[in-house]
């Protein structure tokens, strides 16, 4: 075994699958087995594998200027071009962009810039951040504390209280509804309880609320109709900024340019990574409005520097990768393609799996979806410790499909945006065989209601 500390892995079961190469939506392992990459790597390889245009663009930049930093007044054309291009397309007023390397550091940068801004305008007490149960926002100290998944908090002693982070309800109706609540009643209840929390804390102490338009690692939760409309009205009422974590949902994943467009969100702040470069080069973006940036200028002058930045912030090859990716999205009309193929995928998922004895809920938008696996379909009872999601994930691998078990016992799908209708059907055929195998195994072990 190689002396690697593997990320987000059970350290007793490392090196289970070793990938060797990829082409389009497919990858091969070192034993020659071929798989559909049904999660686009980690929600990120939007253009699939082996895109020669991207490879050539990155190689060309590496040959021209392999590295340049952006500290102390230095810059380079790719970074400026990327910022100008992004300003044309993001739904943030007079936007400014801070470049990093991962979704985690984008959210960490936002956390720091929010503090910087409110200190700059004389409101140092306005520093609390609201996050949600079952939210995922990264794994650095601040972003990891904004994350609400138990595995990401256990043993790390995350300084949640020291960082002034508040937790609110998950908007997952299927698992969080009470009694016979309708979706509308559920939304009203959790919004009312959030307002009670805001009033108890003091609105003048709360800077922002961070939300994933549609969640990823917590199970692809799509909030009910009306939720974001009422949530934003509440936050605006109390002068709390809306911070959209678009690390997974940005750039076509939901069938629109951004998840905010799909879900009707008008954000003040946005976080990007993953699909902005199709994961061909690490890059992330923290987006802030112009009025926030303007307030930060004089404080940086007083100190002599805006004291935040990474060695690889705005790496020229990363910026070129993002620019080329955005060019391909626009030229090939890939967001519209994702919408059309995503509509087919969502319909087929419901047609094939809503009546499957192991599936309690099918949810998703565009080319992102999840199946909630349940022990009792009639009552919706979940699994208590039984690794149904893990069983399904391994069964998928045996059937030539890579997916991911998330939130315990949900299975997520997030194929490359370039996938075709025919390839979606092939992917779902493999998923169907894997779910049948999983059901038979769980039934044999007495873990499901038969």
- Could you read off the pLDDT of 121-149 as tens digits, one per residue? 999 999 999 999 999 999 999 999 999 99
Confidence at residue 408, expressed as pLDDT on a 0 to 100 scale = 82
- Give the CA distances from residue 440 to residues 34, 191, 377, 430, in Å, rounded to whole numbers and listed in that order: 25, 41, 15, 16
Query: What is the mean predicted confidence (pLDDT) over 39-47?
Result: 98
**Two domains, one topology: 54-331 and 333-444:** no
Degrees (nearest 5) of the Cα angle 21, 23, 25? 115
CATH architecture for residues 54-331: 3-Layer(aba) Sandwich (3.40)
pLDDT of residue 178: 96
Question: From CA 72, how far away is CA 295, in angstroms rounded?
Answer: 19
Share above pLDDT 90 across residues of the chain, in percent, rounded to a whole number: 97
- Domains in the chain: boundaries: 54-331, 333-444
For the segment 282-292, the average pLDDT, to the nearest whole number, is: 98
First to last CA, the chain: 41
Rounded-to-integer distance, Cα 424 and Cα 429, Å: 9
Give me the mean pLDDT over the 206-235 stretch.
98
For 75-84, write each residue's pLDDT tens digit.
Answer: 999 999 999 9
What's the confidence (pLDDT) of residue 374? 96
Residue 144 contacts residue 129 (beta carbons within 8 Å): no
* Close Cβ partners of 191 (under 8 Å, ≥ 6 residues apart): 227, 230, 231, 234
Two tokens, residue 61: 């930049």
Q: At what angle do helices 334-353 and 421-444 cross, to 10 degrees?
A: 30
CA-nearest of 208, 211, 236 to 114 is 208
Nearest Cα to Cα of residue 447 among 401, 392, 393, 403: 392
Rounded mean pLDDT, 295-303: 98
pLDDT score for 212: 98
Euclidean distance between CA atoms 216 and 136, whole angstroms: 7
Q: How far apart are CA 360 and CA 382, in angstroms?
A: 9
Q: Residue 253 — very low, low, confident or very high, per pLDDT cuts 50/70/90?
A: very high
List, for residues 99-123, the tens digit of each pLDDT value.
Answer: 999 999 999 999 999 999 999 999 9
| pLDDT over 80 at 386, yes or no | no
Residue given tokens 């960490």 in the structure block: 108
Percent of the chain with pLDDT over 70: 100
Q: Dump pLDDT digits (tens) for 427-439.
A: 999 999 999 999 9
Q: For the segment 407-424, what is each residue's pLDDT rounded down to a tens digit?
A: 889 999 999 999 999 999
Q: pTM of the predicted model, to two decimals? A: 0.97
User: Cα–Cα distance between 421 and 170 in angstroms, integer?
Assistant: 32
What are 168's strand-pairing partners? 132
Q: Does domain 333-444 fall into CATH 3.40.50.970? A: no
């Amino acid at each position: 075994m190689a002396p690697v500390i593997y990320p987000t892995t059970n350290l007793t079961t490392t090196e289970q699958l070793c990938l060797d190469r990829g082409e389009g939506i497919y990858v091969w392992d070192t034993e020659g087995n071929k798989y559909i990459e049904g999660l686009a790597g980690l929600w990120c390889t939007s253009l699939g594998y082996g895109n020669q245009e991207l490879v050539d663009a990155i190689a060309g930049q590496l040959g021209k200027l392999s590295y340049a930093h952006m500290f102390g007044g230095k810059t380079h054309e790719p970074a400026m071009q990327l910022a100008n291009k992004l300003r044309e397309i993001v739904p943030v007023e007079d936007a400014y962009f801070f470049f990093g390397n991962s979704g985690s550091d984008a959210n960490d940068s936002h956390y720091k810039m929010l503090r910087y801004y409110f200190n700059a305008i004389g409101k140092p007490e306005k520093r609390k951040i609201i996050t949600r149960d079952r939210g995922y926002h990264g794994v650095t100290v601040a972003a990891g504390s904004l994350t609400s998944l138990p595995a990401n908090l256990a043993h790390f002693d995350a300084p949640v209280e020291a960082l002034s982070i508040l937790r609110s309800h998950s908007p997952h109706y299927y698992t969080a509804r009470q009694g016979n609540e309708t979706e509308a009643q559920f939304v009203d209840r959790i919004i009312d309880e959030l307002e009670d929390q805001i009033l108890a804390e003091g609105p003048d102490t709360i800077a922002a609320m961070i939300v994933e338009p549609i969640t990823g690692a917590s199970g692809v939760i799509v909030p009910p109709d009306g939720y974001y409309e009422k949530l934003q009205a509440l936050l605006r009422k109390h002068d709390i900024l809306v911070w959209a974590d678009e690390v997974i949902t940005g750039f076509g994943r939901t069938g629109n340019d951004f998840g905010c467009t799909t879900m009707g969100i008008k954000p003040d702040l946005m976080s990007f990574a993953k699909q902005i470069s199709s994961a061909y080069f690490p890059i992330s973006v923290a987006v802030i409005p112009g009025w926030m940036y303007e307030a930060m200028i004089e404080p940086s002058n007083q100190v002599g520097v805006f004291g935040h930045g990474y060695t690889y912030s705005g790496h020229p090859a990363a910026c070129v990768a993002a620019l080329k990716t955005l060019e391909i999205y626009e030229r090939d009309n890939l967001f519209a393609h994702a919408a059309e193929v995503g509509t087919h995928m969502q319909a087929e998922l419901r047609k094939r799996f809503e009546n499957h004895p192991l599936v309690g809920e099918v949810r998703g938008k565009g080319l992102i979806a999840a199946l909630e696996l349940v022990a009792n379909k009639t009552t919706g009872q979940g699994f208590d410790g039984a690794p149904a999601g893990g069983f399904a994930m391994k069964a998928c691998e045996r059937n030539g499909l890579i997916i991911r078990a998330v939130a315990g016992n949900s299975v997520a799908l997030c194929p490359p945006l370039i996938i075709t209708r025919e390839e979606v059907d092939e992917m779902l055929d493999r998923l169907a065989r894997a779910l049948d195998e999983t059901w038979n195994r769980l039934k044999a072990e007495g873990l499901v209601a038969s």
